Amino acid sequence: MSGGAPVGIVLVSHSAAVATAVAALARGLAGGGAAAPIAPAGGTGDGGLGTSSELISAAAAEVDRGAGVALLVDLGSAVLTVKALLAEGDELPERARLVDAPFVEGAVAAYVTASAGGDLDAVVAAAEEAYRYRKE
């Protein structure tokens, strides 16, 4: 656990409504004491379906407290957009990481872990662990 500033989380979806709903779900399931910064970055700048580099960069800047930013994505081109931003080197916070995790379950696990004081590695690991959640 980091004990310092919390890790920020950005939810990148092709839909603003989906990103916003998953952020609300994570906050709700984590309970009232959770305090990690989380921001949706869904859809395009004009409200359509797709991804927006500008929205992703703005959301990452909003949640960055210096402990790192975990970026969770929904579908293929969202992955490509985040990878392109990371490759540019100056569009995202220095400690930004693309997380390979299921979007909903990973977001909840990441948010709970970040809110409990987990460092960036712990937040990423918790989100990635969501691939192993069994539903039967």
Quote the domain boundaries for residue 87: 8-132
The reply to whether 3 falls in a domain is: no
pLDDT confidence bin for 38, thresholds 50/70/90 = very high
Residue with tokens 């990452």: 60
What pLDDT is stored for residue 136 in this prediction? 84
The reply to whether 14 falls in a domain is: yes
The reply to whether 102 falls in a domain is: yes
The CATH number covering residue 21 comes to 3.40.50.510
Handedness of CA 6, 123, 127, 124 (dihedral sign): positive
Structurally, the chain folds into a number of domains equal to 1
Structure tokens at 47: 């409200």
Long-range CB contact pairs, 80-87, < 8 A, 24+: 81/12, 81/51, 81/52, 81/53, 81/56, 82/12, 82/56, 84/53, 85/53, 85/56, 85/57
The reply to whether 79 falls in a domain is: yes
The reply to whether 2 falls in a domain is: no
What pLDDT is stored for residue 35 in this prediction? 85
> Mean pLDDT for the chain?
94
- pTM for this one? 0.94
The reply to whether 113 falls in a domain is: yes
Q: Are 39 and 26 in contact (CB under 8 A)?
A: no
Q: What is the 3-state secondary structure (H, E, C) of 12-53?
A: EECCHHHHHHHHHHHHHHHCCCCCCCEEEEECCCCCCCCCCH
pLDDT in tens, 113-128: 999 999 999 999 999 9
The reply to whether 20 falls in a domain is: yes
What is the 8-class DSSP label of residue 95?
Answer: T
The reply to whether 1 falls in a domain is: no
pLDDT in tens, 69-97: 999 999 989 999 999 999 998 999 999 99
pLDDT confidence bin for 66, thresholds 50/70/90 = very high
